[in-house]
Amino acid sequence: MSSSELMLELHQKALQLLQEDAEKIEKLIEIQMETLTNRRCPVYEEVLDTQMYGLSREIDFAVRAGLLDEHYGKALLIKLERNLAELYEALSQSK
């Protein structure tokens, strides 16, 4: 396997793993949006915040290692942050 093939494989694997982690966070947000039962539950918010922080660190590592384009990583985080903001807004309005 050539070095360019190895880099391509690592790049694709990094994208796949980051996308899977982002989808897990997205699912947490979706479940909460569907039920809105845990209104302002500090534990649930802490889990989401911790997951978001962990993903941001993963993305930072992948960017620094040259496995991920910085713009892609930022776009992934921005999408999740918007969804999280919508969740918090919906929770506030459901009180």
Please list the pLDDT of the chain residue by residue as tens digits (95 residues): 888 899 889 999 999 999 999 999 999 888 877 776 555 667 777 888 899 999 999 999 999 999 999 999 999 999 999 988 888 787 777 65
Q: Within a 13 Å sphere around the CA of 85, how many CA atoms are in the beta-carbon half? A: 6
- Structure confidence at residue 36 (pLDDT): 66
* Domain boundaries, position 44: 3-93
Look at residue 56 in the predicted model and tell me its pLDDT.
Answer: 96
**Side chain identity, residue 37:** T
pLDDT score, position 95: 58
**Which position has the token pair 């978001």?**
52
pLDDT of residue 21: 95
Contact 45, 28 (CB under 8 A): no
Please, are residues 62 and 18 in contact by the beta-carbon 8 Å criterion? Answer: yes
What is the rounded (10 degree) CA torsion for 14, 17, 22, 24?
-170
The verdict on pTM exceeding 0.85 is: no
HSE-CB at 20 with a 13 A cutoff on CA atoms is 6
Please report, for the domain that includes residue 25, its CATH number.
1.10.287.750
- Number of domains the chain is built from: 1
